[in-house]
Structures are given as C-alpha cells and as structure tokens.
A and B are shown apart, each in its own frame.
Chain A
Amino acid sequence: MTSHIEHENEELNQVSSDSHQDSELQWAELTKDWQSQTYPKTDIKQLIKQTKRRVKAAKYWLAVDIIGTMAIIIGFFIALFFYENDKATLYYLGFGSIVTSIFCIHTVNFRIRGWRQLSDSPDQAIHNAIKNAESSKRYLNLCKISCYILLPAVNWYLFEVSTLAEKPILPPLLFINVFVAGMWGASHYYLVKRKKEIKQLKSFL
C-alpha cells in the first residue's frame, strides 16, 4: 500500500517536473522568437537631426512666449511713465500684462513638469498623463475666460482710440472680433478633446 502511494507520488512529481520543463522550453522558444524579430533600421544621424529640430522648436516657442510677455510688461511701464494721459492704452497694456504673465507662468510650469516626468516610474505614467491633461484643461478654460474679458476690453479700447485718431473703426473692430471668436472656438475644440482624453485615461485606472 505504502509503496503504491510512493509510486503515485513519484509519478506526480515526474508529471509536474515534465510540465515545468515543458513550460520552460516553451518560454525559451518564445524568447528566441521575440529576440530574433526583424525591425526597420533607423538612420541614427537623421534621427539626431530630427530630434534636435523638435527640441529647438519647443525652445523657440517657449522663448517667443517669454519675450512676448516681457515686451507687454515693458510696454506697460513705458506707457505708465511716458504716456500717462493715454488711459486706454495704459489700461489695455496693464490688463494684457497680467493675463499674459498668467499664461506664461502656466506654460513654463507645464513644460518643466513634463521634462521632470520623463524618467518617472511607468506606474505613474497614466497619473502623470491625467495631471498634464487636467493642467491643459485649466489652461484652455483660462483661454476661454480671457476671451470673455478680452472682447469688451478690446472693443472699448478700439472705440477709445478711434475717437482720438478719427479713423474708421469698422475694419479693426471686425478683425479683432473675428480673431477673438476664432481663439474661443479653437480653445473650445481642444477643451472638448482634452475632456474626452481625461475620461478615457481615468477609465483605464
């Protein structure tokens, strides 16, 4: 009886060992197949050129953002000290300085955070993507809100300037209103896109 049980145990061990060996063998075959996969060779020199171009473009747009903001702030101080009677321009540049500064700080923070997350844990990748998309959503909301404030402010400014300059008001008025409407439309489009993206990312967690 005992020898029968021992024999059965031996058989069981043998089967278990065989199945372990089988799975090891199968894994080894899969590894071999995986590692011998063909792939299109990349021209690394061309890749470096392309990568450098993309990095430069990102830096260029960031520089444009910062320089533009600085120019508006400097313009505001020039108007404050030298053209204090031109109230319309003064208010316009003052308002513009605050709004563009907020946008600029937001953009710089966004980029710095993005660069810091490059070698973060992949487990955090989706959380980071949600954070970035939410940050982008806030930025786009800010764009839309600034359009609501910008529209009356710009119309008022143009009206004030046209009364002093005595020039026809319609062409610049039309241009600026279409421009602000376009800005609102683009912000709204990307906002809807971003909201969908956040929903999808959250559903993945």
Chain B
Amino acid sequence: MNNSLELPVNQKDRLQTAVSNNKSLSLDHKHTFYQWMTEHEKLLRHIITGFEAKPAIQDELFQEISLNIWRAIPSFRQDSAVKTFIARIAHNVLATHVAKAVKSIKSEQTLSEISIEAEQDTVQPTPYQALDQQQRQQRLTSAIQKLTLEQQQVITLALEGMSYQEVSEVLAISTNLVGVRLQRAKQALTQKLAVN
C-alpha cells in the first residue's frame, strides 16, 4: 500500500526537479546571453561596420548574429575566451553575407544619421575635433569595406586590439598566416586611405 503511494510521490519529485532544472538552465541561458551581449555589443557593432555600409542591413546582421549566439551558447566550451567565441560566430555570418550580397561600397550613413544615443568617448572632444574624427572614422570604415574578405577579417579583429593568437583562434588559421594576412591588409588599407 505504502509502496504504491510512494512511487507517484517520487515521480512527482523527479518531475519538479526536472522542471526547476529546466527553469534554472533557461535563466542561466538568458543571463549568459544578456551578459555577453552587454559586454561585447561594441565589438559586434564595430566588426559589422567593417563589412556592411547600410545601417538597416547592419541592424539585420546584428540580429542574425545575436540569434546565432543565443543558439550557440550551449555549445560554448570554457577552453576559449567568450570574446573569440562571439567574434567567430559574427565572422561566420559576415563572411556568408559578403559572399551572398553585392557589397554596397559607398557608405550611406551621413553624420546626421548617427544616433544621438550613441556611446560617447570618456574625453569629450570639441565639435571641430569630433567632426574631424567622425570624418576619419567614415573614411576608415569605407576603406575597410573595399578590402577583400580575408583582409576585412584580420583587419577588423586587429583594430579591435586582438592579439595574433586571438585572431588565429577566431579565424581558425595559424598565427603565421595571421601575420602575413595582416601585413597585406595593412598595406591595402593604407593605399585605399590614400586614394580616399
């Protein structure tokens, strides 16, 4: 009699544990995503601007990358840094995008279109300095968008301050190859900037 009563209770306990485990996993997933996106939003936004000029498509790409990050969270292993893991997912999406889309080379983002909510530097430049800086930034992104895919990949990561080792982890290539590609990319970038 007792046995027949205990079994459902045990099952109920197991079910409750499973449900609470699921809930905590879901919360962890959400929390991890929130933390990762908050910490690396700047990195993602910057990388995207190196590959795509149109703000509307940049937003679509950001959402696509976010979705892929959300899906990839369970496959994240602690053996790599979050930054390189996220950058790798972003570069996967962006490489496909560049290959599929006819690149829009001319930057269509005018100065007035840049959001007023945008993050500002800690040291506030004078209006003249800010304008000058924005123009240089536009020239830089426009020049990067004209590079080849391989060059875009190494240059955007190097500009983010990543080491050769980190770039090699993101792109799954040797550090020597990173050095060679980066050298060529820098030369190409200098030429494009000189033309601009």
Contact = CB atoms under 8 A, between A and B. Distances in A.
Given A27-B186, A123-B171, A42 B37 contact: yes
B63 A55 contact: no
Nearest to B101: A200
A16 to B, nearest CB: 16
Given A121-B172, A197-B100, A38 B119 contact: yes
A122 B65 CA distance: 13
A116 to B, nearest CB: 8
Interface in A38-80: 38-42, 44-45, 47-48, 50-52, 54-55
A201 to B, nearest CB: 5
Nearest to B144: A34
Contacts of B153: 122
A40 B45 CA distance: 8
Given A30-B140, A39-B49, 19 more contacts: A26-B190, A35-B46, A35-B161, A36-B133, A39-B118, A47-B37, A48-B34, A51-B33, A52-B70, A118-B75, A118-B89, A121-B171, A123-B173, A125-B91, A125-B95, A129-B99, A201-B100, A204-B99, A204-B149
Interface of B: 30, 33-34, 37-38, 41-42, 45-46, 49, 62-63, 66-68, 70-72, 75-76, 85, 88-89, 91-96, 98-100, 114-115, 117-121, 133-134, 136-137, 140-141, 149, 153, 159-161, 170-173, 186, 189-190
Interface of A: 23, 26-27, 30-31, 33-42, 44-45, 47-48, 50-52, 54-55, 115, 117-126, 128-129, 197, 200-201, 204
20 contacts: A27-B186, A31-B159, A34-B159, A39-B46, A42-B37, A42-B62, A44-B37, A47-B37, A48-B30, A118-B71, A119-B85, A119-B88, A122-B94, A123-B171, A123-B173, A126-B99, A128-B96, A197-B100, A201-B99, A204-B98
- State the 5 A-B residue pairs at the shortest beta-carbon distance, nearest first: A121-B172, A38-B118, A125-B95, A39-B45, A122-B91
